[in-house]
Structure formats: structure tokens, C-alpha cells
Amino acid sequence: MNTSAWNRFVKYLYSANQWYRDTPERALEQAYDAALAIKAIEDEHFGGQRISERAGDYGQSTLSYFKSELQKYLKVIHTRMVEFNASRYFLELPDRVGAKPQATDSTERRQHGLGFDDRDGASLVFEKLAFIDGVIDKYIHQGKSTAIVPVLSSENLLFKSTNNTSQPNGSPGSANSLQTQAGEVDTNSEEVNLLPRSLLGTLNRITKELNPEAEKDVVKNFRNSQVKTVISLRFILLLILVPLLANQISKNFIVGPIVDQFRPPEESRIFINYELEEEAFEKLEQFERQLKFEKLIGIAPSLSEEETEKKITEKAVEIAEEYRGESGGAIKNIFADLISCFVFVWILLVNKREIEILKSFMDDVIYGLSDSAKAFIIILFTDVFVGFHSPHGWEIILEGLSRHFGLPENRQFIFLFIATFPVILDTVFKYWIFRYLNRSSPSAVATYKNMNE
């Protein structure tokens, strides 16, 4: 190895080592920037309060956008603080805490009361962590109602990282106990009230009804629900109609002419697979038998052999044109369906806000059903797709798909699919009932079991 190559190699190793040793500062800086972004949204749109429905007078769609931004920044903070904690574990603690701070915008920091310009490295790190904690503490213990991902406290990540590996599992300093301390809800312990919850709920409802602003809240909630319903139904129609229109338009005006140009009807093959050929032969034989039967019973006039042969020839040409068009249509269907799938995926990628609204709308509809209605839908779904009569339905679906794309009907594949896929689907569905539905709506599960017995 010559001198220049060795110098480049040494320089590369030095750069990689420097990048690795700068990982804690880089991760902390990215988490701090995400916390600044959350604080900016709170100050600008929610009066300095946490991002929620009560803090700002916004519609459902606007609030959904702010919540998605909040989730994004919280995930960044969570990921970068884990990276900060892990990298500091493998590096020396005094060196990393006392490292020279990176040059950042001091004006932006002074806006939040963080004068870091003349502080040493340790103070800079601790004040950044304090600011991050002050931002994310509003969203750690807010429960499931806002659907925010739990975020570990950066202060816990800093001061408890050295104890995670030294203490056994289940101890106060272990990783599992730290995760519980940092924001996960302990399901084994819950607050005990002196009065029943139903009575407290009734008192809260009466209090809300006596509130002079209750009517405005009801009207606001109704308008938000109305807007959410309109947007959801419109988006569902968009998901259905636009791909169908794209399929038909592309098939008739784009894919069709291209396929006909490269595959002229008069020169192309009549049958794209042997099953269509056998089906055409059966139709021609049935037509011959029909002519002979009508001739024998005297319904049709007596025809000579030449006239009979002429009619059979005309019927054969008609059948050939029919199956030539079906074979070409199968090729067109493949490309048209690909285009419609691309349009469908494009709609999903472009309308992320509408997807969130639709998800909220579907949750309201599903969880708003009674227990008997939920059990009825579950039984209907399972009987259709994984029940005793479901193999016949799957067989019809697979045969229709194979004919749609011009593929021969592989009976072995169809039987193998019917023998495996419904079983897998049934297993997944039972796991969903056991894992999620049994926890969110146990009464619906009990009703389902009683109705299914």
C-alpha cells in the first residue's frame, strides 16, 4: 500500500471515529430541534398549551394534521434519546458530558429562556434535556385518548442508563421497570374512587349540561362530526370510483390501442390458453347438435349438407372472433389493473390526512355499534370467509380471477389455496379477538361466543 492510500485510509478511520464520538451530541441536538418544533406549534397555534382539542379552536381535519406532526416529532425525540443513551453507554461519560457544544442559533434558544452561550458542556447538555423534558412531559401521561406514542423521559434516559445493565430484570433500575416508570400505564393498579364511576359520570354529565358553554361545545362537536362524516364518505367514493374510471379509460383509450397495434386481431392467436380452446369446441359441438335436433323434430327446415356446413362455418368464425377478443381483453386487463392499482396507491399516498379522518370515522362507527351488532358482523364475516361453505366462494373467486387475467385454471393451486389461506385467516382472526377485541369490548366477545354456540 503506497503512502497516499495509507493516508486516505487513516483519514477515513479518523473521520469514522470522530463521527462515532459525536453521536451523543448529534442525537441530542436532533431531539432538541424536534422539541423546539413542538414548542413552536404550541406557542403559535395553541397559546402555549399542549396540542389538544381543548387548547385550540380548530376543526377535526386541522387538529388531525397537528396531531400527526406531534406524533412525528415525538417519535424523533424518542428515537434520538435512545440513540443518545446507547451511544453514551459505550463512550466515556465525563468526556461526553464535558464535550464542546456545537454552535447553534443562540437567538432561538434565548426565546425559550435557554442562554447556553457562556455555559460549559455539562450545563448545555442538562439544560437541553430539561427543555426536552418540559415539552414531552405534557404528552407522556395523557393516556390512550390522544393516540400519542409513549415517549421515554430524557432525564430518566440520562441518569438511569448506567443502572440498567448492572441490576437484574425486574429491579427498579432495569430496562423493564424504567419503561414502566417512563410513561406506560400499569394495568395492575388503578385509582380507587370513593364513589362508583357511574355516579361520578352522571355528576360530570350534569355539570357539563349546566355549563353555559355546553351548547357551543355540542354544536362544535356536531359540526366536527359532520365534517368528518362528509370527508370520510367522499374519500371512500374517491377510492372506489377513481380506480374504476382509471381502469376503464386506460383499457379503452391507452392500453387497448397499444395492445391492438402490437397484437393485430387478424394475426393474433385465437386462444390464450387451452381451457378457452376446449370451451370454444364445446360451444361449436353444441351448435351442431342443436341443428341436428331441430332438423329431426321438424322445427327447422331441411337443409342440405352444404347449407349445414355453411352455418357451422359461420358459427365457428363467430366463436373465433369472440375468443380472440377475450384473449386480447385478458392482456389488456393485466395492464389496466396495474394502472388502477397505481392510481389507488397514489390516492393513499397523497391523502394521508383523509386516511386519518377515515380511520377515526370507522372507529366511531364500529365502536358505536351495540354488542349484538358487533357479534353479528363477526359471525357473518367468519362464516363467509372461513366458514364451512367458504371453500366454494374462494373457488369461484380464484376461477374468476384466472379467467380475468387469461390464466389457465390450476386446480392444484386452487385446492392448495383453499386448504391453507382460510385456515391462516381464521387463526389471525381468532388472535385478533383474543388480543384486541377481548380487551376493548369484552361484552361483545361474550355475545359472540353465546351466538356462535
User: Which pLDDT tens digit goes with each residue over 311-349?
Assistant: 899 999 999 988 888 888 888 999 999 999 999 999 999
CB 246 within 8 A of CB 238: no
Residue 39 to residues 74, 78, 106, 186, 248: CA-CA distances in angstroms? Answer: 12, 16, 16, 29, 49
Identify the pLDDT of residue 131: 87
Contacts 24+ apart (CB under 8 A), 48-55: 50/138, 50/139, 50/142, 52/146
Q: Which of 54-58, 105-109, 323-327, 372-376 has the lowest average pLDDT? A: 105-109
For residues 340 and 419, membership in a common domain is answered with no
Q: Determine whether 154 is exposed, middle or buried from the number of CB atoms within 10 Å of its CB (0-12, 13-18, 19+).
A: buried
Q: Using the 3D structure, point to which of 181, 211, 238 is the last residue of a domain.
A: 181
For residues 158 and 121, membership in a common domain is answered with yes
Contact partners, residue 366, CB within 8 Å, separation at least 6? 374
In this prediction, residue 1 has a pLDDT band, given cuts at 50, 70 and 90, of low
Q: Is residue 11 part of a domain?
A: yes
Closest-CA residue to 346 (of 338, 358, 335): 338
With the CA atoms of 274, 275, 279 and 282 taken in that order, what torsion angle do they form, in degrees rounded to the nearest 10? 70
Domain extent for 419: 369-452
Contact partners, residue 32, CB within 8 Å, separation at least 6? 128, 131, 132
Identify the pLDDT of residue 6: 64
For residues 14 and 157, membership in a common domain is answered with yes
For residues 105 and 150, membership in a common domain is answered with yes
Q: Is residue 214 part of a domain?
A: no
Identify the pLDDT of residue 173: 39
Identify the pLDDT of residue 244: 95
Rounded CA separation 167/174 (Å): 6
For residues 336 and 248, membership in a common domain is answered with yes
Identify the pLDDT of residue 246: 94
Identify the pLDDT of residue 285: 92
Q: Is residue 164 part of a domain?
A: yes
For residues 282 and 405, membership in a common domain is answered with no
In this prediction, residue 221 has a pLDDT band, given cuts at 50, 70 and 90, of confident
Identify the pLDDT of residue 121: 64
Q: Is residue 38 part of a domain?
A: yes
Identify the pLDDT of residue 144: 39
For residues 177 and 247, membership in a common domain is answered with no
Q: Is residue 203 part of a domain?
A: no
Q: Is residue 190 part of a domain?
A: no
Grid cell 374510471 — which residue?
245
Q: Please state the domain count of the chain.
A: 3
pTM to 2 decimal places? 0.53
For residues 51 and 143, membership in a common domain is answered with yes
For residues 413 and 322, membership in a common domain is answered with no
Rounded CA separation 235/348 (Å): 10
For residues 229 and 308, membership in a common domain is answered with yes
Span 171-218, pLDDT tens digits: 333 333 333 333 333 334 444 455 555 566 677 777 766 777 777 777
Mean pLDDT of 275-303: 86
Mean pLDDT of 247-265: 86
For residues 143 and 246, membership in a common domain is answered with no
Identify the pLDDT of residue 374: 85
For the chain, the average pLDDT equals 75
Q: Is residue 208 part of a domain?
A: no
Identify the pLDDT of residue 337: 94
Rounded CA separation 105/116 (Å): 10
Q: Using the 3D structure, point to which of 325, 352, 379 is the last residue of a domain.
A: 352
Mean pLDDT of 14-26: 74
Q: Using the 3D structure, point to which of 181, 210, 230 is the last residue of a domain.
A: 181
Whether the per-residue pLDDT at 41 is higher than 60: the answer is yes
For residues 437 and 323, membership in a common domain is answered with no
